[in-house]
Structure 1
């Protein structure tokens, strides 16, 4: 929970009215979460949603909130003409479906939607003059139009304050409708006739031991006074009969009647019984009315649900001729490998290059360029990065530098989300990309599964994995042409496949494994439901220099190249010069010792001296800075071992396999 807000995200229509307050969290004893207390931004005292003197304009509220580190809120009143629809986070699938429909209709109308202070719910702001009469009449939804202050965050804000669309007004009609009936005693309720024996039996079954105690006159342990006991017992009887004579007859047969002797006269007894019956009658009729009304509502809901189930089942079956005529899924997102509307898994051990490969795929689909020598179907791409965001940013810079294009249709989601629990937010992301690009996204990369898995769920649990896959399937149902690729890790034994439950392997249309062997990388399509498997996808990672940091050290990253059968391209530039110098120096050691050994060190000063000979026209300090940078690069490529400082250089076995231009 937070009080932060983003002024730039709040539409001007909301800022205009002078109905703004500040607010803060206040802990209260016995309450599970702190209360949101409104504050008058002019005085710092508590504000009231019914007292305009405690409100201010937006600028005053904003200045106070920023000075004191609190939030801002807008007061609703009948004159404001505004309605706020509050959707709180929930794990109830039925309520999530209600929220999804409301959010879809709001987005379609261009209504202003923002995240709530918890970051898990949503506030929708629309114009609506009709007063709310039952704010919580729709399950999981709260509607407010007056005498209420609502927190405003501007977070993830989209849209404008538009009139409530008819479709949304229809969905929320119960919140604005007049109450079905006033909550008063319903004395007209007539219960069906019943025998004394049947009444006694029903009351005993319904109220149990308490009724038995009253019937036998054992009330002392239940109430401090006789009149209170008489009152409760009278209500019990009145719940099952509308006949006053029958009520009186049973009351006088009970043990409670024995104490009536304390009344002075027969007239007093009659008055007491009449008063007791009248009170019991009103309460029992009121309870019976609401039970009857509730039963009718329940029956109507059940009937509606049964009708809905019947309509849902009506078109489940398809005749053979219709079934085979429908469009067949073809692997066209990446021809022969990935299909539109499919689910794939790209997995491998740490360092196998899977995230590099996933980003390269993003770039190819977003720009419509071939990938691994195969044609792609161009479309917008979302890269959901739950971890390693700084590194991903560097990889993006490298690919933009090498490819020479910023790929405007690639969008990053640099936050981890519990996809099963926060599917609404992920669906909103799809909507935002669709709105910006005019077409739905073609590819969604989720990197990695563990960062988007259900909170508290276990990857090894088939039940939890199916819950995750179900949430992904819901997203794909929203965008039928969307392909979702999940980046995942290998198990402890990479030869035994991906980590966790096999339910993911079973659900995936395509499974690609990444491996690294020395400086060679290779991806293999190991499963393909609707195409060829065992397709090799060799690639290499080329290092790219992006500049220098504030200490003058190089900033580097890598990009994927698809040729050379998975081997790195020949080194060029300063790196090639460094390799040439080290080979010369090793040959000098061989000639001096008569035997070649990787254990033989090469003195750092000898390395520096050779660089001076290579670049005689430059200043020594500049040359030393360049040659040390090359050593760092070669060490990162695992071609040499060097501990920095003035330590010697040792060549590693991979050094012999590198080629230079």
Structure 2
């Protein structure tokens, strides 16, 4: 309608158009669906009209249509019919064709840049940009996807070659591959149930699996898939160009992951890009490039030039809390988990929206830092992962960032659903990320969600491609809700293994392994129980008995705790250590001094090198009774991540024999760790019940129960059951 006259309008006749204000006035007065915007040759604008992709009742949009909207990445709104979408952008079509009636969502797609008008409803599609953006390259990619390169009726636009495998070899290898069961269901049975009956999605999946083995050879791919049980008449429908060839072309464009185990026979239709000369380096050159030692942004967690695959269960593990606290430490150059960090700018790619506000504020990142640069996933709609990483590279160069966090990798790399189980898709996503880490010498922490068992979901390719595999989870046993277990393995020394960490008001604190925690608690309990007067000093056995009765500390752990405190100078010792005059222990310190000792013990840093840390208590002075006593000094552990427990560095030959753990009573700290599970059972329990309650290994439980009985921790009951209390009519000693 002509907004000025109310008569008919023609999108090719400017004389029938009006201004924006005139169009809005006419639409309001005549109660029309909206105002029409005309695309002309003289303006920079273009548009995409996606028909029949939206349920007008529920508002649900077909995933394939959403994919195209995301690719276009510009202002999008719901059409007047409520059944379609319209995208407005800056861009021009590469050729003349406009309409494809065979869009994968069952409707049509129309692309226009002149001689056409779109009705503007103002009903913005949430999640898309609020402005009209310059999307020329994306517009051309979408055009090629639906109309072929240059608008012709044939596919192509990629380098064509093959791996040299015959058709039968391709099928044979696909059958035996990791995703072989899915291939067999599609290829031999035509079973699309794994795709919710979506035949088009099943076609694309089968083509993709075949393409991996053949290479980008559309003729061989078509020959093989036509032998499958999925073949149907639709494949030969020629709307634009044949459906099957369009599917193959769509699967091949931009793909880089192909089978490389066979010699490739390349029949180039498009000349391959010029490649740089391969360079071999000497050992000295490699070592010089690698440096003398690993450069850590965060020791044990974030190495320069490497990727940490950081995994935890969604909304349970606390990944975002951990990562933002770590970022805050790096930005401030403060220690994290007791380890020094390198102060560098940080890039944070996050899938979260406004809910990221709380973890950022809790980590203190709302206090004006200018070195944290955040990229939200919603702002990357329409960009490929390669384009996103290109922007990351530019930002690293601009800011000097040393740490890049990707939360989550699946979201940004486009690994939804089945794709995370595909080794090819996973490798294709991780390799450019690894290239970024190595080329720019930055540390990359790529976050993923875990399965119910706490392990990373998806293909084992994640394990092969990254440098560190790390999980964050709630530990077994009776720990506080703010305690987590950090467990890693990788290509570097010093990665924390089964490390318990605690979130406090000051940040995360490393508690050590489960055995470290038990041992440290035992030391604290010794300082709580030991007498303060020499006249009341306790023998080692009496002190061990008191610890066992009061706190349930095993005899061996109690003995080691007494020994450690003696060597630290926290306990005074009197007696000759012989019959009639045994060693006796007390703590001749003020209440304030004792409390400070206990605080030191609780805060002991569990990270040590294999050589152990140093406990500097060398300055001595005489007590009022004439006995030597060690002055208080600070505990100064060697700052590195290691596997040794806290008790490692306290071994000494200077301790009297009485302090050694009796060889016939070897109850390890891990036996003590079984106590919480048995306490929860609250009754004599079988081996299976104890194993299930604590999540323990069966063989380990058998061994520890036997040792626990000898040490007086556990007691045997009739019927092959164990508990923490002895039967009413039996008392077992160590010989029992």
Quickly name the TM-score band, shorter chain normalised: 0.3 to 0.5
Instruction: Specify the structure having the higher radius of gyration (Cα).
Output: 1
Q: Which has the higher helix share?
A: 1
Give the TM-score normalised by the residue count of structure 1: 0.39
